[in-house]
Amino acid sequence: MRILLAEDDSVLADGLTRSLRQSGYATDCVRNGEEADAALSVQDFDLLILDLGLPKMSGLEVLRRLRARNSMLPVLILTAADSVEQRVKGLDLGADDYMAKPFALSELEARVRALTRRGAGGGSALIKHGPLVYDQVGRSAYINEQMLDLSARELGLLEVLLQRSGRLVSKEQLVDHLCEWGEEVSYNAIEVYVHRLRKKIEVGGVRIVTVRGLGYCLEKFLEAPPPGPTMPPAPSAG
């Protein structure tokens, strides 16, 4: 999951960025509204955390432009505790949630988890795929109730593929969702991550299909049909 944080308070921005990265989110940070608008125009993110009091361009204007581009990106707005009018305007412009400063970091992280799940089209913390279960809150994966030993990058890769189960995901899309600005991650590295993850989940019958030259797809898991009624043996002749 990739998050854009738009916050001009350097102390708060640095603290939130560290916390989100420790929770497994690729997090990019901008310090003014113009940078936020430019980033949102050219890059795909899974969540925007948006301070409304940004310099150069207000957070409300950033949000207005985002929705004018018909983007459905989940947005969590941050506001001063007494700015009720701004919070109302933000929600009316299409924000999904808001938090008033100061706030508890644990609550912000819980709201981030809820919004990223909602943006991925699901409300449950658990994503199930046959015998594979991925816990989005605990960031852990299990096959047949046995925890898998996955690196942070492998967990991120699995999450992206699970949320797009049955659909093709290109290497470029994987880089966009897993990597922050400035990270040098090659397509060859993506192939290595996929290879490692594939070895760990195929033991449970979960397959990552490679479409040569295009990308990867987590194969839909088809449950075995229930056994049909047993037919009685045909009567013997004579």
pLDDT tops 50 at residue 224: no
Residue 148 is encoded by which pair of tokens?
């898998």
pLDDT tier for residue 7 given thresholds of 50, 70 and 90: very high
Closest CA to 1 of 46, 43, 36, 48: 46
pLDDT tops 90 at residue 165: no
The angle subtended at Cα 47 by Cα 122 and Cα 10, nearest 5°, is 150
Distance of CA 189 to the CA centre of its chain: 20
Identify the structural domains of the chain with CATH numbers, from first to last: 2-119 (3.40.50.2300), 126-218 (1.10.10.10)
pLDDT tier for residue 121 given thresholds of 50, 70 and 90: low
More confident residue, 188 or 229: 188
Residue with tokens 């839909």: 220
Burial 127-150 (b: 16+ CB within 10 A, else e): bebbbbbbebeebebbbeeeebeb
pLDDT at residue 39, rounded to an integer: 93
Looking at every residue in the chain, the average pLDDT score rounds to 83
Specify the pTM: 0.66
Contact 52, 59 (CB under 8 A): yes
Residue 214 is encoded by which pair of tokens?
């295009």
More confident residue, 172 or 226: 172
Contact 53, 59 (CB under 8 A): yes
pLDDT at residue 188, rounded to an integer: 85
Contact 132, 141 (CB under 8 A): yes
Quick: pLDDT tens for 62-88: 999 999 998 889 999 998 766 778 888
